[in-house]
Structure 1
Amino acid sequence: MPLALLPRGAKVAVLRAALLAGCGLALAGCDTLDSLNPFADPKYKPEVVPDVPADKLYSQGLAKLEDRDFDAANKKFDDLDKQYAYSDWSRKAVLMTAYSNYEGGKYEDAITASRRYLQRHPASKDAAYAQYLLAMSHYKQIPDVTRDQDRSERALAALNELVQRYPTSEYATDAKAKIQITRDQLAGKEMEIGRYYLERRNFPAAINRFRDVVSKYQTTRHAEEALERLAEAYMALGIVAEAQTAAAVLGHNFPDSPWYKDAYALLQNGGVEPREEKSSWISKTFKDVMGIPRTAQAQ
């Protein structure tokens, strides 16, 4: 019977029963939710991570570095960076992360941390050191001359940036020395490829490689050989004037070099002598290792 047609007393009884049933369902529902809620378990105790003072975290990281436990040191510095973000402690933590990765031989991670530091703190007093760590992380990965020299190129770029941006820093002198070593490595790779082409009588390709050494890496130890190899390749192609110029420039700058003796003998066998052609690209691009103009030495 519809509720509206029931006597008043019956209506009250029905409503009371419905109310009690609803409460029972609600309670049953609460029991079901509690069974699914892990926090309702009286045995559950939420883990509370204690706040460690920043200076203590930093000291703990340094201690791990002293023990050469670089992974643990990184963990401490990472915690420091996260817990004290945007503070000076965070700045120190990122730099020490770069350093600990570098010391641990994780050069890619060191590069990432160094870049992060430089992006966040480009004007910091430690920015030069971050750039040094970045450059050295590339430098440490330079392969031998028989392999691809992409790492050498990256190292050279990072070292040059260090010298250009921080010329008075305490790291500039070491960077300059490593720039020379890296350039020598790149020149060595060009020489290796040039010799490969020369042996296979691909003289134009060989000349391109030796030309790069003379043009880009003339202050390296490979410049002497590059000039002699140019004389060889040009003579083989019958471009005698360029061969003579290569030998003449070699003699002007490295008169005691065994490479000059080889070049001189090569030209003599061809019935000519070393002679500089002023319009030659070799004459125009090559400069003396010591910075003295070549024409002045020739006088």
Structure 2
Amino acid sequence: MNITARALLVSLLLAGTGAVVTGCNTKKDIDITKLGVETDPPEMLYNQGLANIKAGNMTEAGKKFDAINQQQPFSEWARKALVMSTFVKYRTGRYDDAVQTGNTYLKQYPGSEDADYVQYLVGSSYAKQIVDVTQDQRAAQQTIEAMTKLVNTYPKSQYVSDAQEKIRFARDQLAGKEMQIGRYYLERKDYLAAISRFRIVVEQYPTTNQIEEALARLVEAYYAMGIVPEAQTAAAVLGHNYPDSRWYKDSYQLLQKGGVEPSENSGSWISRAGKKLLLGT
């Protein structure tokens, strides 16, 4: 920033606070750094930001990076600063801000060398906001969308493996939410509503850690309704895929009490879903 621009900035700031500057003012020069305005060159600000990160002063680091974007938007230093600003906001728990800054970067520089990393930070910011299955799982869905974009857009990225792990976790959460609602209906003997939730898990989330219980709960719900063939099919699919599961043991014993055993009806939707389980899809 040259002397003229610096003087103009000072005058604008002072005007905003009601101060008056005149050409005949004989007071000593004002220290612009005390006004909270970063005036160092972008390269220096960037290095100062890195130094603050290393020292553990994330708040000050964020100020340095944000200052670069304010001074020279769309410059190469601004591009780098956006990456670091996203990182700082993520590390300091400002996840919504990290998502916003990250998405700004991805909109401006979708093909840059750091785009995969920023996409990963966006997905990780959503993942950090995933809550217990008794609560809204919007963050889990957003995690899946952001991390799937990373996997599909940047398949060779070093962050793909962790992105896939976060996708699996988020899918487990969504399946867990369906199970939580399904159990609620089951306890109240609203079997049709319960079955609809367990069916979602079986058909949409077959590779999650909820699948065994979902099949067992279908056995329980269908059996309680007197739809024994469907209960038998659910038990057969469960036993075929997870023969050592405690859920299969419980389902088998339930059917035995009624004098029947697991038996698969190939025309059932459960049987068709079971074939997908074998394929791991």
Q: Does 1:186 align with 2:174?
A: yes
Q: Does the Cα contact within 8 Å between 1:224 and 1:254 map onto a contact in 2?
A: yes
Aligned amino acid, residue 291 of structure 1: L
Partner of 2:25: 42
Q: How far off its partner does 1:286 sit?
A: 2.8
Q: Does 1:137 align with 2:125?
A: yes
Partner of 2:199: 211
Distance in 1 of aligned mates of 2:245 and 2:85: 48
Pairwise CA RMSD of aligned residues? 2.0
Distance in 2 of aligned mates of 1:111 and 1:205: 36
Q: Does 1:238 align with 2:220?
A: no
Q: Does the Cα contact within 8 Å between 1:218 and 1:287 map onto a contact in 2?
A: no
Q: Which moved more, 1:80-89 or 1:282-291?
A: 282-291
Identity over aligned pairs, percent? 50
Partner of 2:60: 72
Q: Which moved more, 1:41-50 or 1:127-136?
A: 41-50
SS of the residue corresponding to residue 141 of structure 1 reads coil
Partner of 1:276: 264
1:1-299 equivalences in 2 (<5 Å): 38-40=20-22, 42-43=25-26, 51-287=39-275, 289=277, 291=279
Partner of 1:33: none
Question: Residue 261 and residue 180 in structure 1: after superposition, are their counterparts in 2 closer, same or farther (change >3 A)?
Answer: same
Question: Alignment length, in residue pairs?
Answer: 258
SS of the residue corresponding to residue 286 of structure 1 reads helix
Gap runs ≥5 in structure 2: 1-17
Q: Does the Cα contact within 8 Å between 1:253 and 1:288 map onto a contact in 2?
A: no
- Rg bigger for which structure? 1
TM-score by length of 2: 0.86
Distance in 2 of aligned mates of 1:173 and 1:258: 31
Distance in 2 of aligned mates of 1:50 and 1:153: 39
TM-score by length of 1: 0.81
Partner of 1:28: none
Aligned amino acid, residue 21 of structure 2: F
Distance in 1 of aligned mates of 2:226 and 2:278: 32
